Amino acid sequence: MAKTYEPIATNTLGSAAASVTFSSIPATYTDLVLVQVSKITTGAGTGTLQINGDTASNYSNTFLTGNGSTATSTRNSSTVIFTGDASNSDLQTSIYNFQNYSNTTTFKTVILRSNVTGSSLSAVVGLYRSTAAITSILISQNASTTFIAGSTFTLYGIKSA
Amino acid sequence: MPILGIMASSTSGASAVGNFDSIASASGTGSSGTITFSSIPTTFTHLQIRGIGRTTATGAADTTLRMRVNGYTSAYPLHRILGNGTAASAYGATTEVYFQDVVDVATNSATSNVMGAFIIDILDYANTNKFKTFRALSGTDNNGGGTIIFGSGLYSQTTAITSITLEANGQNWTTTSNFALYGIK
- Radius of gyration of chain B from Cα atoms? 16
At residue B2, does pLDDT exceed 80?
Answer: no
CA distance B117 to B105: 6
At residue A60, does pLDDT exceed 80?
Answer: yes
Residue B71 lies in a domain: yes
B119 with B111: CB under 8 angstroms?
no
Give the model's pLDDT for residue B12: 34
At residue A19, does pLDDT exceed 90?
Answer: yes
Stated pTM of the model = 0.93
At residue B164, does pLDDT exceed 90?
Answer: yes
Quickly state the pLDDT bin for B17 (edges 50, 70, 90).
low
A20 with A14: CB under 8 angstroms?
no
| CATH number (domain holding residue A35) | 2.60.120
Q: In total, how many domains does chain A have?
A: 1
- The per-residue pLDDT for range A83-127, each reduced to its tens digit, is 888 888 899 999 999 999 999 999 999 999 999 988 899 999 999
CA distance A149 to A65: 27
**Within an 8 Å CB–CB cutoff, is residue B125 touching chain A?**
no
SS3 state at B51: strand
At residue A3, does pLDDT exceed 90?
Answer: no
CA distance A33 to B50: 12
CA distance B78 to B155: 9
The answer to whether the CB atoms of A1 and B117 lie below 8 A apart is no
Residues 58-117 of A with CB under 8 A from B: 60-66, 71-75, 77-78, 95, 97, 99-100, 103, 105-107, 109-111, 113
Residue B155 lies in a domain: yes
Look at A23-32, A112-121, A145-154, B10-19 and tell me which has the smallest mean pLDDT.
B10-19
Q: What is the mean pLDDT of residues B23-52?
A: 98
Which of B143, B182, B184 would you mutate first to test chain A, the one with the most A CBs within 10 A? B143
CA distance B180 to B22: 7
Write down the mean pLDDT value for chain A.
94
Residue B37 lies in a domain: yes
Look at A66-70, A77-81, B8-12 and tell me which has the smallest mean pLDDT.
B8-12
**Within an 8 Å CB–CB cutoff, is residue A4 touching chain B?**
yes
**Within an 8 Å CB–CB cutoff, is residue B16 touching chain A?**
yes
Give the model's pLDDT for residue A106: 98
Structure ipTM: 0.95
**Within an 8 Å CB–CB cutoff, is residue B100 touching chain A?**
no
At residue B3, does pLDDT exceed 80?
Answer: no
How far does the CA of residue B181 sit from the closest CA of chain A (Å)?
A: 8
Q: How many pairs of residues across A and B have Cβ atoms under 8 Å apart?
A: 173
Q: In total, how many domains does chain B have?
A: 1
Residue-range definition of the domain harbouring residue A150: 5-158
B164 with B181: CB under 8 angstroms?
yes
Residue A39 Cα distances to A59, A118, A147, A150, B29, angstroms: 24, 13, 6, 9, 45
Residue-range definition of the domain harbouring residue B90: 22-184
| CATH number (domain holding residue B159) | 2.60.120
> Minimal CA–CA distance to A123: which of A115, A132, A134, A131?
A115
**Within an 8 Å CB–CB cutoff, is residue A12 touching chain B?**
no
At residue B132, does pLDDT exceed 90?
Answer: yes
How far does the CA of residue A3 sit from the closest CA of chain B (Å)?
A: 5
A20 with A13: CB under 8 angstroms?
yes
Q: What is the mean pLDDT of residues B71-93?
A: 98
Which of B3, B7, B10 would you mutate first to test chain A, the one with the most A CBs within 10 A? B10
> Minimal CA–CA distance to B171: which of B65, B66, B77, B56?
B56
Residue B150 lies in a domain: yes
Residue B16 lies in a domain: no
Residue B10 lies in a domain: no
Q: What is the mean pLDDT of residues A50-68?
A: 96
Residues of chain A above pLDDT 90, percent: 81
Chain B residue with minimum CA distance to A106: B113
